[in-house]
Amino acid sequence: MDLADATLDELRAALAPALAANAAFDGWNARALDATADGMGVDRDVARLAFSDGPLAMIDAWFAHIDRAMLDALSPETLAGMKIRARITALVEARLALLAPYRDALRRALAILAMPQNLAKASKLGWRAADAMWRAAGDTATDYNHYTKRMTLGSIYAATIAVFVQDDSEEWADTRAFLGRRIDGIMRFEKAKAGFVNRTSNRPSLSRFIGRLRYPAI
């Protein structure tokens, strides 16, 4: 792509991977953005316009790049041959592999997102990552499960990332073990929840009874 003719959205997507590499040394700031623009032959002022919202826009673009790269790393055909637990594990581990070369940049990004004024943005980015993983895993839920699944996976992913940035074990063995334990716990909970729903689905419902009193069948 000729970046001279790129839209601002295309420019953000193109600069994001290299920007993460520079942010590892300079932080998520104008210095890193200028270095990235210079390295890719983009006018500095245009690059700054693309990231006019500052560090949060830079981090957002990088995380969006990770979302796309995760989907490229695991084809739908590959995921279709796995059980749901294996799909979620593979998707999280694919993200870790993509983030691994940029752990210093990730640490800096997490420090920015942890600031009180940025917590809403952090939650939005966490939700987006969880949503991308569930959609890739084939989830089509539209009821309350749509939200609970993403909230649960988002909390697992956030906790796993917190372990990952401090993990010095070979091939992130400690992080993988932590992730496995968390997913096992969630799978047991989901199984128990499904059993509870099945057992109670035919029980009398107070709300349905009151509804019939208010709106009797004609």
Condensed to tens digits (0 to 9), the pLDDT of residues 63-122 reads: 999 999 999 999 999 999 999 999 999 999 999 999 999 999 999 999 999 999 999 999
49 confidence band (pLDDT: 50, 70, 90): very high
Is the pLDDT confidence value at 208 over 50? Answer: yes
Sequence-separated (6 or more) residues with CB below 8 Å from residue 206: none
Per-residue confidence (pLDDT) for residue 103, from 0 to 100: 96
Q: With cut-offs at 50, 70 and 90, classify the pLDDT of residue 185.
A: confident
- pLDDT for the residue numbered 144: 85
- Supply the pLDDT for residue 191: 64
The pLDDT of residue 193 is above 70: no
HEC string of the chain equals CCHHHCCHHHHHHHHHHHHHHHHHHHCCCHHHHHHHHHHCCCCHHHHHHHCCCCHHHHHHHHHHHHHHHHHHHCCHHHHHCCCHHHHHHHHHHHHHHHHHHHHHHHHHHHHHHCCHHHHHHHHHHHHHHHHHHHHHCCCCCCCHHHHHHHHHHHHHHHHHHHHHCCCCCHHHHHHHHHHHHHHHHHHHHHHHHHHHHHHHCCCCCHHHHHHHHHCCCC
List the chain domain ranges. Answer: 1-52, 57-218
pLDDT in tens, 51-67: 999 999 999 999 999 99
Q: What pLDDT score does 218 carry?
A: 46
Once rounded to an integer, what is the mean pLDDT over residues 6-13? 94
| 5-25 average pLDDT score | 95
Report the pLDDT averaged over residues 148-169: 94
Determine the topology of domain 57-218 in CATH: Tetracycline Repressor; domain 2 (1.10.357)
Looking at the chain, the whole-number percentage of residues with pLDDT higher than 70 is: 86
When pLDDT is cut at 50, 70 and 90, the band that residue 216 belongs to is low
- pLDDT band for position 145 (cuts 50, 70, 90): confident
